[in-house]
Chains A and B, each alone.
Chain A
Amino acid sequence: MRSTLKNKRRAILAGALALAVVCLSVALAHAEPDKKTDPKPAPKKLTGAELYAINCNRCHPERYATEFTAAQWKTIMLHMRVRANLPAAQAKVILKYLQEDAGN
């Protein structure tokens, strides 16, 4: 009787252990990062040069940064932000890009 009871307990323990191993392996398999299903990295923010090319050249010929001083660019960008409905963040990046090589 005792041996039968022990065998049953062992069988139950072995089954539980096997089930735990299977569950753990399945859980680990799902927890492991899958390169194929990884979310795409956040899109790169556009640079001032890129935003300038996207927004400015579609309405008028290219104006070179050296054509105006940094202060003049600030005023002109304010005018263009209103006239062309440029988003504030984009206008700031474009302004910074133009001021980097602004004339004296």
Chain B
Amino acid sequence: MKISSLIPGLAVAGCALGVALTPRAAAMISDEDFNALRSMVTNQDQRIGQLEKLHEQDQQTHQQDQQTIQQLEQRLGETQTLATNAEQKAEAAAKIQPVYPVAGGAMSALHNFTMAGDAEVQFGQAQGQHSTFSLADFAPIFLFRANDNILFEAGFDVTLQNNTDLSGKPNGGSSTSVNLSFAQLDYLLNDYVTVVAGYMVLPLGTYSERAAGWLNKIPDDPLPVDFLPGAGVGAQLRGSVPVGQAGQMLTYSVYGVNGPSSTDGTADAGSLDLGGNVGGDAIGSPNLNGNPSGGGRIGWFYPWKAHYDIELGVSGQSGTWSGNYLWSALVVDAAIHISPYFEVKGEYINTWQETDNAGTIQPTGWWVQTSYKLAGLNLDAPVVNDLELVGRYDTANDAMGSTTDRYTAGFVYYLTNTLLLEGDYEWLINHGFNANGLPSSQFVIQLSYGF
């Protein structure tokens, strides 16, 4: 009974409490607050709407960007295809040589014509003689490039020189000579073979191919070089094969030439003519020997870095020089560079000449030359930095009774990279029947210009 009577009582009390508390709760949220809250919600709705619109715009922009990227990719692919096609067409076109030269600026004669070469003036004095300007030399090389694979080149040597006797002693007057040093056609068959034909510089050793006045650091040639022909008429195959990627290479030259001849049609020891072409004999034969000479050189060049290298070569030539008499040569050459400043090079030359009056004679000799650029001392002195000291020893035995040993000390002063002042003093030791007529010393000063 007590419980059942309590429930209605509690309900009544709750209602009374609810009625009493309701006005207080309503009083906590005012109209202003409510309106502010409502406007805030309204603003947020608007912002959400704006954001949704922005998002839609971004999506549209993204889609447009995607389309643009696809179009660009397509265009890139087309461009690459066009470039590949153009490259292939260019390669194909390059392989096709025009039958006739195409006229125009890029192929005009003057455009492909270049002149190089060197010029020298010498002043000297030999022991027992007056000092003199002994030589003026102009040695142009004319180069004409017909196309990328064909080159014609010719070198001349125009020299004004005092007349001398066989021993080199002036014997009165002077003369001007015009000599053809070489005149050859080069056809580059491919990357490894070049066909050369004409009057060619012969690769017997390396001196003959690198003997221009401004290249040699001493004004005169090594003595035993006179035992070799400098050039010959014929044809040659030459080229090189690179070994690895560091600049190493094997080089080769194989040639056939008319070969040496006789000055007087005989096969006597002193009649050898190394002038470069077969001469006629005294009875009118246009050719002293029917057998051409063959020769060649194999070389190995090994650079272990720039200005540090070694080069070795073996070369030779053999053939008849008068009738059936043979003339042969063997040359071993070597060159070493250690740093941009130090160089050693030399050649050993041995020849065999079958003769009618002296059996087989063997003119032989060798030379070695070393040089050092004083710039390597890092003295930071302008004159010293442009100076190079040079020394050479050369010896030659002509196998006909004369031997000469020569010691040379000299210098090269580089006025520019192509204008050189060279000077040297030579001590000569002569043996043999004509030794008394030769000077025992001499000095030579030479101004050389390479162009």
Contacts and interface: CB of A to CB of B under 8 A. Distances in A.
Interface stretch (B21-29, B235-243, B436-444): B235-243
Contacts of B252: 85
A63 to B, nearest CB: 7
A33 interface: no
A50 B151 CA distance: 26
B417 A53 contact: no
Contact of A43 (B114, B214, B245, B306): B245
Interface in A44-67: 44-46, 50-51, 53-55, 57-64
Nearest to B251: A85
B361 interface: no
A59 B210 contact: yes
Contacts of B245: 42-46
A60 B238 contact: no
A27 interface: no
A96 interface: no
Nearest to A46: B247
B153 interface: yes
A12 interface: no
A78 B186 contact: yes
A90 B306 CA distance: 14
A87 B244 CA distance: 12
Contacts of A78: 143, 145, 148, 151, 186, 188
A87 B241 contact: yes
B192 A50 contact: no
B49 interface: no
Interface size for chain B: under 10, 10 to 19, 20 to 34, or 35 or more residues?
A: 35 or more
Contact of A75 (B112, B306, B418): B112
A55 B247 contact: yes
B246 to A, nearest CB: 6
Interface in B144-186: 144-145, 148, 151, 153, 186
Nearest to A53: B306
A89 interface: yes
B406 interface: no
A65 B186 CA distance: 24
A75 B151 contact: yes
Contacts of A83: 201, 209
Given A54-B306, A85-B238, A89-B191, A61 B253 contact: no
B335 A63 contact: no
Interface size for chain A: under 10, 10 to 19, 20 to 34, or 35 or more residues?
A: 35 or more
Contacts of A86: 240
Contacts of B242: 87, 89-90
A87 B194 CA distance: 11
A76 B144 CA distance: 9
Contacts of B417: 61-64
Nearest to A55: B247
Interface in A66-104: 68, 71-72, 74-76, 78-79, 81-83, 85-90
B215 to A, nearest CB: 5
B194 A82 contact: yes
A75 B414 CA distance: 26
Interface string B292-319: 0000000100010011010100000000
B249 A87 contact: yes
23 contacts: A43-B246, A44-B245, A46-B245, A54-B247, A54-B307, A61-B420, A63-B417, A64-B417, A71-B111, A74-B148, A75-B143, A76-B116, A78-B188, A79-B143, A79-B153, A81-B188, A82-B238, A85-B249, A85-B253, A87-B242, A88-B188, A88-B191, A89-B242
- Listed from nearest, the 5 A-B pairs whose CB atoms lie closest are A88-B191, A53-B306, A85-B251, A87-B242, A75-B145
Given A71-B112, A85-B251, A85-B253, 15 more contacts: A50-B247, A53-B306, A54-B307, A54-B309, A58-B337, A60-B214, A60-B450, A61-B414, A71-B111, A75-B114, A75-B151, A76-B143, A78-B148, A81-B188, A90-B247
